[in-house]
Amino acid sequence: MNSVSFNGIFTGLTQKEIPELQKKYGKNAFQSGESGNLLRLTWGIISEPMFIILLVACALYFILGESREGFLMLAAMIFVSAISFYQETKSSNALAALREFTEPKVMVIREGKETEIFSIDLLPGDIMYLSEGSRIPADAIIMQANDFTINESIITGESLPVNKSSNTKDTKLFQGTTINSGWCYARVTAIGNDTTLGKLGKSITTINTSKTLLQKQVSTFVKRMATFSMMAFLLIWFINYRQTGSLAESLLVGLVLAMSVIPEEIPVAFSSFMALGAFHMAKLGIITRQPATIENLGAVSVICLDKTGTITQNKMAVKLIYDYKSDKLLDVQQLTKNETPVLHFARLASEQMPFDAMEKAIIDAYQESNDGDADSVFSISHEYPLEGYPPMMTHVHGHADIKTVAGKGAPERIIKVCRLDENSIAKIRKIVIDMACQGYRVLGVCSALSANNDFPQSQDDFNWQFEGLLALYDPPKTQVHAELKKWYKAGIKIKLITGDYAETAINISEQVGLREFKKNKTGEEIQHYSEVEIKEVAASTNLFSRMFPDAKLKIIEALKANGEIVAMMGDGVNDAPALKSSHIGIAGGSKGADIAREASDLILTDDNLDKITEAIYQGRKIFNNLKKAVRYIISIHTPIILTAALPVILGWKFPNIFTPIHVIFLEIIMGPTCSIFYEREPADKDIMTLPPRERSQTMFTWNELLVSLIQGAIIAIGVLSIYYYFMNLGYEINYVRTIVFITLIFSNIFLTFVNRSFRETINNTLKYKNNLAPWILIISVIFLWSILSIPFIKDVFYLSKISTQHFILAMVVGFTTTAWFELYKLIKKKKKAPSI
């Protein structure tokens, strides 16, 4: 592999080498050795309780010699399995597409040209360019580096950064470690399972991600219903066996009830809503790493924001320079060449190829004041990386006996290392505060001379001379004020957590509309508070200044301890711990550091805050639509259960009106209706004016569950009434069954549209745009026509032709047993009572 050319310039891999290497090494991804998706999906379908019940029913039909029904049940099994397979495949495809959105990219050199590729496509021999905040995507060896330190805790457990360069003994880089500072060119030596992390990964492949709260609630609900179905099955089987003495027929009757009880649509609805919702959001530029993140979006009660790059444009520019030696405050726009050494030393203290917005601004200002000449100042011989609190960094220049040393950093750190007298310190601090009050970010600049190569261990120990201050301005984004207003309207609290001075943060807070911003706390104060005090401060304070990573993390943890659902947005390396700790970490996709993006749950492709508003809106909509689907399932299951159970228990003339065929086809109607129709429903118009839901509560309040059960009970009363009425008039069983079955189908259709909203009446919901609405009606009409008009289908369902008057009666009963809810919503709306 020709990774480096003979003249020392990196050329990387050639297009001719790539296909052979891809064939030999494959993708840069960990292969767990688990069985294929198709096998897992098939096992998941056949191990479901509903499939097992269908299998038993099918076997009983063949045992009883009713082969037609047996083959029909077999067809029903295949059809139900196909629906499950389709839903699971659709969800899997959505997740696969989502992974493409979130796949990290890396800059490589191929054939001497820089090009960006997905990290999964890296090959041994590739030359990567890596910079601060990046996660190293493969094992590699350093070819060239500058100010380069690595956090290798994921491999070694050691949290302190490690200095590495091409000149040190240790030039190895490991996949999964993160770059703490600087940049490097590195040649890939191993990918996928062959990396050190990949080899370690083989021992941890059995670790499972814990379920979310909502997943646990759904799972618990389904398990309870499955247990109830087993008890109901045994009860109905026993009662029916006592009445008929037929074991097989009694088992079939019991299975009918068991089918009607198990809400197998709920897990399918949950997984498809989350996966498809995440995919739709990704197309809007809101990328969720895990679909379950959506569960928390609708419950967000606090949004914490970093300042730089989050609410500001991250387009810094040097505006003012304070020259300490001449005691002048200079406007950069009017600066003449070599008028002040402050900008010169600030440039010397910056990286040659900067990635930080402030350093880029310093270079731009230096170039403008020096006729575009910037690179000639560089002859770096030693450096001290950005470290400490407050932070500072130092570069040593020159190779002669006398070397120039330049440092820059937080003004209080620079003042301290320069050892100024009290009067000078007071004067400089006043200037710093004046600059900060104008919304500027302030840097201190210092210089020193070194007469030998025996540099001090700490950069603080040079004989520093204070040079002056730089005031940089990063204006707020234009849409921030409007977005914060929307969040407040949605009942969401907002916290600004920044490393800037309080005065700078207050100025920006006033511009963007942050509430109660004048009361603020600093990171140093947070460090001295007890856990109880931090919780109180986190609740009562909206502005936190001079914050560092540990302090940010403590605020996030305190808010969580207070019961808040916390979203944190940041894009820097120092935001990563807080992003990881929050319920929803949000990072920018275009300007944020790789480590910030990888620590986050949500990535915004264009870094604009309106995407957060859209994400919360989508999260609330998806959760509300899922609730609609599940409440619909509960409501429509109730009459099926009661119609299958009560006639048996009460000893009616026709105790078993339904066979497994009828229940399974009712399930087929319900499954797609809730999973597909409700997933595409628009949100209620007031969804962003309601307070966030409480994440700790169950999916439904008792009031909501009660209303759904009442809906189902009223439908059951209507169905059982028409059942009892026609049975006692002397009609034969097939005629009664036809009317009961049609009544349930009409109830299902009307309930679907009634439950489109639990607040808005049908006058408003008819205006909702859902392209599946007409199809639901068309398919339902075709199905009704088929079971009543096609002889074969009529016989399969044990139905008979009924009169037009009775058909209309079934439709009227289906309508009246569901339409009452519209009146209920209207009354509740007029009373302005709490929504259900």
Is residue 202 scored above 80 in pLDDT?
no
- 337 or 585, which is more confident? 585
Quick check: 320 and 330 in contact, CB under 8 A? yes
Supply the pLDDT for residue 478.
82
Report the alpha-carbon distance of residue 546 to residue 229 in Å, rounded: 59
Distance from CA of residue 666 to its chain's centroid? Answer: 35
Q: pLDDT tens across 295-322, in order?
A: 778 888 999 988 776 787 777 889 999 9
Residue range 76-97: average pLDDT? 62
Report the alpha-carbon distance of residue 526 to residue 537 in Å, rounded: 9
Residue range 171-191: average pLDDT? 85
Supply the pLDDT for residue 595.
60
Among the residue ranges 118-127, 367-376, 519-528, 629-638, the one predicted with the least confidence is 367-376
Residue range 785-808: average pLDDT? 88
CATH number of this structure's domain 1-208, picked from the four choices 2.70.150.10, 3.20.10.10, 3.30.70.600, 3.30.70.1290: 2.70.150.10
CA distances, 59 to each of 264, 552, 658 (Å): 21, 62, 18
CA distances, 603 to each of 45, 153, 243 (Å): 33, 25, 63
Of residues 477, 437, 440, the one with CA closest to residue 317: 440
Supply the pLDDT for residue 6.
33
Quick check: 494 and 515 in contact, CB under 8 A? yes
Domain with CATH 1.20.1110.10 in the chain: 217-283+615-831
CATH topology of domain 217-283+615-831: Calcium-transporting ATPase, transmembrane domain (1.20.1110)
Confidence of residue 712 (pLDDT cuts 50, 70, 90): very high
Tokens read off for 480: 């921030």
Reply yes or no: is the peptide bond before residue 390 cis, omega within 30 of 0. Answer: yes
Q: pLDDT tens across 542-563, in order?
A: 999 888 888 888 999 999 899 8
Of residues 184, 201, 197, 69, the one with CA closest to residue 137: 197
Task: Provide the β-strand partners of residue 387.
Answer: 392
Distance between first and last Cα of the chain: 67
Supply the pLDDT for residue 53.
65
- Residue 495: φ, ψ to 5°: -125, 135
Supply the pLDDT for residue 523.
86
Domain with CATH 3.40.50.1000 in the chain: 289-312+477-605
The CATH code of domain 317-473 reads 3.40.1110.10
* β-strands 113-118, 162-163 pairing: unpaired
Helix 660-672 vs helix 67-102: crossing angle, to nearest 10: 20
Among the residue ranges 118-122, 206-210, 681-685, the one predicted with the least confidence is 206-210
Of residues 370, 339, 573, 322, the one with CA closest to residue 472: 322
Report the alpha-carbon distance of residue 777 to residue 783 in Å, rounded: 10
Is residue 566 scored above 60 in pLDDT?
yes
CATH number of this structure's domain 289-312+477-605, picked from the four choices 3.20.20.70, 3.40.50.1000, 3.40.50.720, 3.80.30.20: 3.40.50.1000
Supply the pLDDT for residue 835.
47
Q: pLDDT tens across 17-42, in order?
A: 899 998 898 888 766 544 445 666 66
Report the alpha-carbon distance of residue 339 to residue 504 in Å, rounded: 27
Domain with CATH 3.40.1110.10 in the chain: 317-473
Taken in order 161, 166, 167, 168, is the CA torsion positive or negative? positive
Is the backbone of residue 69 left (phi > 0), alpha (psi -120 to 50) or beta? alpha
Contacts for 775 with CB less than 8 Å, ≥ 6 apart: none
Q: Please, is 369 exposed, middle or buried when counting C-beta atoms within 10 Å of its C-beta (0-12, 13-18, 19+)?
A: buried
